[in-house]
Amino acid sequence: MPTSQEIAEIFPTMASRFVPSKAEGLNAVIQFNLSGDNGGLYWLSIADGVCVSGQGQAENPKMTLKANADDWYAVSAGQLNAMQAFMSGKIKIEGDMGMAMKLQTLFAQ
């Protein structure tokens, strides 16, 4: 089981792997509500070709991803396929489903 610090490090890592060319014209805030012992609230803000991460509740997110922190850690580490996790109910999406589909393409592996 990942520690709360390992969970928190996912989001700055995602921001550092952001591919601006894949997000042309995209301005969005994505909220991550992670449950479980090491869960928490995190967000990514994408605007003008820049991705920034933070902790807490974002204002007016375009999309909210809800998952158990352990499952999201497995997805971010490449141990669990995001689409399979979504189809099996391990990941739930609220808001812009198109944004959820695009999310996978915005970050280099």
Mean pLDDT of all residues in 14-25: 95
Q: How confident is the model at residue 109 (pLDDT cuts 50, 70, 90)?
A: confident
**Residue 19 belongs to what domain range?**
4-106
> How many domains are there within the chain?
1
Q: Mind listing the pLDDT tens digit for each residue in 34-54? A: 999 999 999 999 999 999 999
Whether the predicted pLDDT of 108 surpasses 90: no
Going edge to edge, which strands form the sheet with 63-68? 50-55, 40-47, 28-35, 63-68, 91-95
Which residues lie across from 33 on neighbouring strands?
Answer: 41, 66
Helix axes 69-76, 4-16, angle to 10 degrees: 40
Give me the pLDDT at residue 99, please: 93
Which residues lie across from 27 on neighbouring strands?
Answer: none
Nearest-CA neighbor of 40 among 18, 74, 70, 76?
Answer: 70
Q: What's the CATH number where 46 sits?
A: 3.30.1050.10
